[in-house]
Amino acid sequence: MQRYFLEKELAENQLQEIVITGEQHHHMNRVMRMKEATQVYLVFPSGRSIIAEIITINQEQVSLKWIADEVAEKELPIQVTIASGLPKQDKLEFVVQKITELGAAAFIPFQGHFSITKWDHKKATKKIERLQKIALEAAEQSHRRKVPTIYPLATSIEEIAQQAADYDYCLVAYEESAKENEQAVFAKVLQQVKPGEKILVVFGPEGGLAPKEIEQLETAGFLLCGLGPRILRTETAPLYVLSAISYVTELKQ
């Protein structure tokens, strides 16, 4: 069943005739060729998700009515923000798609000291819009109730370090920690974290984080952690973190 994220909240008495135009109407009408009585999920900005049925559909608009609320919980109980140093090629699009599937709450790209890719102001705006679109599509496909927030480019690690106070836990996945066989920090945090709390996890670009960047993060209270004995690529490590968090918090232990 298709899922659509709506931009406006609706009052209870508006749920008997929900009118949709624009891109989502186009998708239902032309791409999916939906007919009367087809059911879809509609998700509101609050995270409320309903099953709605098409009453009428024509070239201009589609009207739907509320059938039932979706009850199953879809969101990670912990709010995880992933910060990635700009990697090469289109890896960032991959990362955003996958972390959305795996339940991330937000994503912050940053210009790392060793990032080979550079974004100028104009490019950054376009790139962020593209990442927002990818997050929206992945959220629809993976049946989430929230689209992850894609933040503007942080131009240095300092901007990330300054945000430490906004989170309950701040971690850095650090290759040198993995090499030194550090294996306690991440698991310890996952044992302490409570539903509703916020975690920020920072990942360097391909070349890793510079010693000075690590120092800035440590000074701001970030904990360095290893993610097992193998060296994970920059685009793989965030998936490891989110998978482990889902396993610990969403599957019955």
Q: Please report, as ranges, the residues that interact with a second copy according to CB under 8 A.
A: 72-74, 98, 101-103, 141-144, 181, 183-184, 186-188, 191, 226-233, 236, 239-240, 243-244, 246-248, 250-253
25 vs 145 by CB, closer to a second copy: 145
Torsion of CA 154, 156, 157, 160, to 10 degrees: -30
- Written as six digits, the tokens of 33 are 């060729």
Question: How far apart are CB 186 and a second copy at their closest, in Å?
Answer: 6
CA 249 to the chain's CA centroid:
17
19 vs 231 by CB, closer to a second copy: 231
Question: How far apart are CB 132 and a second copy at their closest, in Å?
Answer: 19
Question: How far apart are CB 79 and a second copy at their closest, in Å?
Answer: 15
Neighbours of 248 (CB within 10 A): 15
For residues 205 and 238, the answer to whether their CB atoms sit within 8 Å is no
CA angle at 246 for the pair 156 and 168, rounded to the nearest 5°: 45
CA angle at 81 for the pair 75 and 85, rounded to the nearest 5°: 140
CA 233 to the chain's CA centroid:
19
Question: How far apart are CB 55 and a second copy at their closest, in Å?
Answer: 26
Smallest Cα–Cα separation from 105: which of 170, 213, 197?
197
Question: How far apart are CB 2 and a second copy at their closest, in Å?
Answer: 12
